[in-house]
């Protein structure tokens, strides 16, 4: 399930636009944390057993389930490598990011 | 390639935590939040004091969670939550679960008087302590949750911490509150079940979640889940529940305890320890484990 939430940066043009109380009015989705990454996970779907463990242990919520298969969201993946380490069939490889 | 099969997910698919948050790579605290919110659902209000999560959540005017959050002062997590609960009850909202979400510094050291007061009054909140065993947010200073032998910036290698970790569950059990549980992010289903159970109970409920921190522990980010699982299997952090301060239930029964040395070896903060010190730590763990077993079996 991929999120369809707005990911815009909020800009206050004048002081009047600022809410009276300091409250959150936007999500952090504008912060594309994918740029933090040096290595990226690549899932080999031939060996995937659809156990959902990579989805379960992703701290960045950047593995989502699409048509019953795991898909990595490279916009937000920080490249921690937990998915590759925890995969029972070791079908996720961490490959060097090309710049 | 495509075998048509349904993906088996052991947790609900609904996400209340968004991507784009500011946690380090391989953070355990974010996983703790993700599982707890999955169990509690949309109808929840959080009170977060100064801790890693007050930064992870994002700066004004953004938030990475889809639930209301109240950022409160460091020492007031528990009382702020009980105040929010009282306010909600005044306007007739009895459904919303109020959660105080504090780190180990805000629970073991700074927030303990507020927590003790709330537990004594048995206010209707869930107190969650995610334990990364030092003040990680401000730069890895020693807290009373730091285990024996650990390196931190205030307990450098030559003068490493020589006191054991505070036994928070025993302190909370002495308050005779309805529900206390320890959980680890290495066992998400167990954590999920405990949070669900805590949601159904009235009164002060205390959850202690073990959340490894690769930055402060000097471990590899991919080892986060491995560490959270190892710590349960070598009985350093056993998973158990306490009801009304008396009834102890052990959740993960260990056939054989793994040696603590493997767990210490993959963390840079324990690298300076000698064989003798590790042996004395193992002895301490065994003693604590026997004490817990006697409490579980005594009924």
Instruction: Give the pLDDT confidence of A17-27 residue by residue, as tens digits.
Output: 888 887 788 88
- A76 in Cβ contact with A62 (< 8 Å): yes
Banded model confidence at residue B298, pLDDT cuts 50, 70, 90: confident
Closest in A28, A62, A65 to B63, CB measured: A28
Which residues in chain B have their CB less than 8 angstroms from residue A85's CB? 222-223, 225-226
pLDDT at B201: 93
Banded model confidence at residue B1, pLDDT cuts 50, 70, 90: low
- A18 in Cβ contact with B56 (< 8 Å): no
The CA distance from A41 to the nearest CA of chain B, in Å, is 12
C-alpha A75 chain-centroid distance: 6
Region B58-80 average pLDDT: 91
Which residues in chain A have their CB less than 8 angstroms from residue B230's CB? none
Which residues in chain B have their CB less than 8 angstroms from residue A5's CB? 18
Mean pLDDT score across all residues of chain A: 87
- B62 and A27 within 8 Å at the Cβ level: the answer is yes
Closest in A46, A50, A85 to B222, CB measured: A85
Residue B89 neighbours by CB distance under 10 Å: 13
Instruction: Give the pLDDT confidence of B114-164 residue by residue, as tens digits.
Output: 999 999 999 999 999 999 999 999 989 999 999 999 999 999 999 999 899
- Note whether B189 contacts A: Cβ–Cβ < 8 A: no
| Spatial separation of the C-alpha atoms in residues A49 and A68, rounded to whole Å | 11
Q: Which chain A residue has its CA at the smallest distance from B63's CA? A: A27
- A59 and B18 within 8 Å at the Cβ level: the answer is no
Mean pLDDT score across all residues of chain B: 92
Domains plus CATH for chain A? 32-96 (3.30.70.20)
Region B3-19 average pLDDT: 83
Region B22-42 average pLDDT: 93
Banded model confidence at residue B31, pLDDT cuts 50, 70, 90: very high
Would the pLDDT of B174 be above 90? yes
Omega into B61 within 30° of 0, i.e. cis?
yes
Both tokens of residue B131? 């334990």
Would the pLDDT of B299 be above 70? no
The CA distance from B256 to the nearest CA of chain A, in Å, is 22
pLDDT at A55: 92
- Note whether B229 contacts A: Cβ–Cβ < 8 A: no
CA distances from residue B17 to B41, B96, B209, B233, B259 in whole angstroms, order as listed: 11, 18, 17, 29, 36
| Spatial separation of the C-alpha atoms in residues A23 and B71, rounded to whole Å | 10
Would the pLDDT of B76 be above 80? yes
Which residues in chain B have their CB less than 8 angstroms from residue A46's CB? 1
Percent of chain B with pLDDT over 90: 83
Q: Which helix (H) or strand (E) holds B209?
A: strand B205-210
Closest in A24, A25, A82 to B224, CB measured: A82
Would the pLDDT of B2 be above 70? no
Taken in order B184, B179, B137, B285, is the CA torsion positive or negative? Answer: negative
Q: Do β-strands B97-103 and B69-71 pair in parallel, antiparallel, or remain unpaired?
A: unpaired
Candidate from B2-16, B156-170, B174-188, B227-241 with smallest mean pLDDT: B2-16
- A29 and B10 within 8 Å at the Cβ level: the answer is no
Closest in B34, B62, B222 to A28, CB measured: B62
CATH 3.10.620.30 assigned to B28-298: no
pLDDT at B294: 93
| Spatial separation of the C-alpha atoms in residues B91 and B87, rounded to whole Å | 7
Instruction: Give the pLDDT confidence of A55-94 residue by residue, as tens digits.
Output: 999 999 999 888 889 999 999 999 999 999 999 999 999 9
């Amino acid at each position: 399930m991929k999120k369809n939430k707005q990911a815009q940066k909020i800009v206050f043009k004048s002081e009047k636009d600022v809410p009276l109380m300091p409250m959150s009015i936007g999500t952090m989705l504008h912060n594309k944390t994918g740029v933090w990454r040096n290595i990226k996970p690549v899932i080999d779907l031939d060996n995937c057993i659809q156990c959902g463990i990579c989805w379960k242990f992703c701290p960045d919520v950047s593995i989502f389930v699409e048509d019953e298969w795991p898909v990595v969201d490279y916009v937000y993946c920080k490249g921690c490598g937990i998915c590759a380490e925890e995969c029972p069939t070791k079908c996720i490889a961490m490959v060097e990011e090309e710049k | 390639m495509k075998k048509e099969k349904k993906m088996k997910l052991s947790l609900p698919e609904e996400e209340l935590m968004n991507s784009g948050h500011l946690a380090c790579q391989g953070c355990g605290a974010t996983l703790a939040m993700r599982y707890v919110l999955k169990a509690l659902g949309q109808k929840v209000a959080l009170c977060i004091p100064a801790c890693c999560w007050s930064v992870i959540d994002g700066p004004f005017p953004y938030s990475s969670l889809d639930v209301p959050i109240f950022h409160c002062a460091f020492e007031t997590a528990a009382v702020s939550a009980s105040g929010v609960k009282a306010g909600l009850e005044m306007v007739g909202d009895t459904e919303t679960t109020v959660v105080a979400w504090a780190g180990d510094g805000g629970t073991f050291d700074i927030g303990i008087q507020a927590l003790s007061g709330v537990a004594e009054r048995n206010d209707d909140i869930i107190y969650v302590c995610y334990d990364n065993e030092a003040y990680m947010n401000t730069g890895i200073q020693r807290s009373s949750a730091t285990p024996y032998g650990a390196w931190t910036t205030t307990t450098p290698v030559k003068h490493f911490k020589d006191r054991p970790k505070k036994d928070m569950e025993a302190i909370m059990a002495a308050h005779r509150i309805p529900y206390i549980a320890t959980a680890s992010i290495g066992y998400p289903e167990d954590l999920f079940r405990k949070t669900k159970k805590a949601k159904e109970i009235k009164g002060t409920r205390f959850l202690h979640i073990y959340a490894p921190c690769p930055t402060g522990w000097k471990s590899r980010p991919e080892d986060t889940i491995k560490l959270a699982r190892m710590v349960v299997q070598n009985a350093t952090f056993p998973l158990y529940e306490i009801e009304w301060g008396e009834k102890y239930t052990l959740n993960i029964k260990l056939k054989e305890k793994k040696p603590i040395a493997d767990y210490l070896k993959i963390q840079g903060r324990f690298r300076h320890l000698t064989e003798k010190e590790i042996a004395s730590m193992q002895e301490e763990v065994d003693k604590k484990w026997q004490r817990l077993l006697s409490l579980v079996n005594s009924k």
